[in-house]
Amino acid sequence: MPIYEYICNSCREKFSRLQSVRESREGIDCPKCSSGDTKKLISSFCCSGGDSGLSSSGHSHSHGGGGG
Ligand SMILES: [Zn+2]
């Protein structure tokens, strides 16, 4: 369930709210001043680029000893 951020234009209060299917309507009341003048903020997800490079190094030395 995605969480959207809202900001109140009345008291400039930022709050997050779960965007449910039922609550797909616009117009979220501010939990602080109960004002309907709120605006939904656009939250941009930034995906961290990961360098893909698997370096596997492993040399196994087997010593063969022959005891006489
Ligand atoms: Zn408010």
Q: Is residue 25 part of a domain?
A: yes
- Residue 18 C-alpha to ligand 1 middle, in angstroms? 17
Q: pTM of the full predicted structure?
A: 0.53
pLDDT bin (cut points 50, 70, 90) of residue 1 is low
Q: Is residue 63 part of a domain?
A: no
Domain span including residue 20: 3-41
Q: Is residue 29 part of a domain?
A: yes
- Residue 11 C-alpha to ligand 1 middle, in angstroms? 4
- Residue 68 C-alpha to ligand 1 middle, in angstroms? 89
Strand ranges in the chain using DSSP code E only, listed in sequence order: 3-8, 14-18, 38-41
Query: In the β-sheet with 38-41, what is the strand arrangement from edge to edge?
Result: 14-18, 3-8, 38-41
Note the pLDDT tens digit of each residue in 9-67. 999 999 998 876 665 566 789 999 999 999 988 765 555 555 565 666 666 666 666 66
Residues paired with 15 in a beta bridge = 6
